């Protein structure tokens, strides 16, 4: 512990939730450290355009993420770019965060490590992420107004997002690797009642190609094993993958309660079952994972952190 640098609060994750948590905690006079392992912004850093953050339309995800973290720094937050290796909590309630470069300690730990979308695994998926391949209809659906979209998945989230896209896109094609949906029949019936929705059963996307945007999609028939190609004018189609999300919780799993969706259970102040430990953003169990809700979670967590430290100090 003697070699650890001490802070009032440590935030792990420099995305919208982490930046907002750091900002609010620092503005409340706490000494705050935000630890980020990559680019500021988390998942949004890989998004070409964010157009649904209130008041800031048409901004790149990388730019928005950087602005958020810069704002936190301007309020006095210290930022460390490092990989967190381990998190521990002593009997006296102090959290120790060990990174690949240094060790830190604080009575408050705010986790904002986000969630990662499960990929479909087709060739070109990573290459065209944010340029024709998306994992969030609410985030990116408006870019496909009057265009054709393919929705990969047959579960609840895929049906919900497919229904959402049916009101935006010209045509929605559900791509199911099996011969049936996994979602409840009532939800499926509602989706298929839309005139512009069709289904490719027992089908997987094998690969995508194009220039800056997708123009060629290769499908595989999972029954026969045969592949076939469909070509489109570049930029006229999109692929939405809904194979689920995996909240990133491993660092604090023993200290928290995990919900059915894999997210951390918190109360309305973002507090977990462990005193002094807060979780904010996409790693929480929640209904809507968006930039605006992540930032709101972070603001609440940062304010709660101040209240917690103030109570400790009497």
Whole-number Cα distances in Å, 14 to 18, 38, 252, 294? 5, 8, 17, 11
Is 12 within 8 Å of 84 (Cβ atoms)? yes
Whole-number Cα distances in Å, 192 to 33, 166, 195? 49, 10, 7
CA 36, chain centre distance (Å)? 15
Distance, in Å, from the CA atom of 99 to the CA atom of 13, rounded to the nearest integer, reads 13
What burial class does residue 2 get, using C-beta atoms within 10 Å of its C-beta: 0-12 exposed, 13-18 middle, 19+ buried? exposed
- The strand order across the sheet containing 103-106 reads 5-6, 103-106, 95-99, 84-89
Catalytic center residues: 136, 139-140
């Amino acid at each position: 512990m003697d070699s650890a640098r001490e802070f009032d609060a440590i935030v792990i994750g420099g995305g919208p939730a982490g930046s907002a948590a750091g900002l609010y905690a620092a503005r409340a006079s706490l000494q705050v450290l935000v630890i980020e392992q990559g680019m500021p912004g988390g998942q949004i850093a890989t998004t070409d355009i964010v157009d649904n953050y209130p008041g800031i339309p048409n901004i790149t995800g990388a730019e928005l993420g950087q602005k958020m973290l810069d704002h936190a720094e301007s309020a006095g937050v210290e930022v460390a770019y490092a990989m967190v290796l381990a998190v521990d909590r002593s009997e006296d309630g102090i959290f120790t965060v060990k990174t690949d470069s240094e060790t830190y300690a604080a009575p408050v730990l705010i986790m904002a490590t986000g969630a990662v979308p499960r990929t479909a695994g087709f060739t070109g998926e990573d290459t065209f992420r944010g340029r024709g391949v998306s994992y969030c209809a609410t985030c990116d659906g408006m870019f496909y107004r009057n265009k054709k979209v393919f929705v990969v998945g047959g579960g609840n989230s895929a049906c919900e997002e497919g229904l959402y896209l049916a009101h935006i896109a010209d045509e929605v094609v559900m791509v199911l690797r099996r011969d049936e949906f996994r979602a409840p029949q009532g939800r499926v019936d509602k989706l298929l009642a839309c005139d512009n929705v069709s289904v490719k059963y027992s089908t997987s996307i094998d690969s995508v190609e194009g220039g800056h945007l997708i123009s060629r999609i290769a499908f595989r028939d999972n029954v026969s094993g045969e592949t076939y190609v469909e070509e489109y004018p570049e930029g006229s189609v999109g692929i939405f993958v809904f194979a689920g999300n995996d909240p990133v919780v491993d660092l604090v799993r023993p200290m928290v309660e995990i919900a059915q969706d894999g997210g951390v259970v918190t109360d309305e102040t973002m507090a977990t079952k462990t005193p002094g430990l807060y979780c904010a953003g996409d790693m929480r169990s929640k209904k809507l994972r968006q930039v605006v809700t992540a930032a709101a979670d972070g603001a609440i967590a940062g304010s709660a952190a101040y209240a917690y430290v103030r109570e400790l100090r009497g």
